[in-house]
Amino acid sequence: MLTIPHPKPSPIEPENILLDIVYEDDSVIVVNKQAGMVVHPAAGNYSGTMVNALLYHCKNLSGIGGVERPGIVHRLDKDTSGLLMVAKDDLSHQGLSKQLKERTIVRRYTAIVRGILKREDGKIETDIGRHMVDRKRMSVTTKKGRRAVTEFRVIEKFKDHTLLNLKLKTGRTHQIRVHLSHIGHPVLGDKVYGGNKKYGKLIIPVNRQVLHAHLLGFVHPKTGIYMEFEAPLPADIESILEVLRSNN
């Protein structure tokens, strides 16, 4: 028997921060997160997060994520932009979390990576766990990893870079970044996994890892209707593409 915990009051202060809300009803919110925004408070980031903004915006969020993560069903890295779903009540949170566990939620990403992939599409499948030395990083060489699967498809090739469409089959921490680094094509601008190394004379306006969650699809936890949302590429990624195309 599943017991729903009583929500605890959140110590997090609501903050009047502008959010790009793609969809909202009484159960869920879909937010197009900007790069540079942390999803929820943690060490070093106790304000200015998406949760601070959400608490100001809607007042009621599910308590299952705990007092520091109210409503948060899944996350994006600070410097990854794109779509996130948030639960407003515990039953909705349970329903969305169940879909995540059963791998029925559709999550597609756009990335620019270093180098040119030899294959037009494929699947990367490894275990991912904490790096054995640097605990802030994830790694495919770990003693306590969990299975991770990422599908990729080439969209466009440049002289030294490739534009990819990626689909998450699982949702491990840093999964796409780790997988692409593992196959020798780290995400452009990724300071943690090798995508920020400079080579060549081309000046590319990169200020973060070039990774964007452009599509999110799930079954509404109350209505049972499948819903799908898309977020266009942000201006900084479009600017990078312009530079790469001009150099082709």
- Enter the CATH code of domain 109-210+242-246: 3.30.2350.10
| pLDDT for the residue 64 | 60
Q: What is the dihedral of CA 58, 64, 65, 69, to 10 degrees?
A: 30
Higher pLDDT, 39 or 2: 39
Across the strands, what pairs with 213? Answer: 82, 109
Distance of CA 122 to the CA centre of its chain: 20
Of the candidates 63, 79, 83, the one whose C-alpha atom is nearest the C-alpha of residue 71 is 63
Pick the catalytic residue from 77, 89, 90, 190. 77
Identical fold for domains 21-102 and 109-210+242-246, yes or no, is yes
**pLDDT band, residue 215 (cuts 50/70/90):** very high
Q: Where are the domains of the chain?
A: 21-102, 109-210+242-246
Read off the pTM: 0.90
Token reading at 27: 């159960």
Say what the pLDDT of residue 18 is: 94
pLDDT digits (tens, 9 = 90+) for 217-246: 999 999 999 999 999 999 999 999 999 999
Task: Clarify whether 190 is annotated catalytic.
Answer: no
Average pLDDT over the chain reads 89
Please state, in angstroms and rounded to a whole number, the distance separating the CA atoms of residues 175 and 147: 10
Encode pLDDT of 99-137 as tens digits: 999 999 999 999 999 999 999 999 999 999 888 777 678
Whether pLDDT at 2 is above 60: no
pLDDT at 203 over 90: no
- What average pLDDT does range 76-85 have in this prediction? 96
Closest to 77 in 3D by CA, of 1, 189, 2: 189
CATH class of segment(s) 21-102: alpha beta
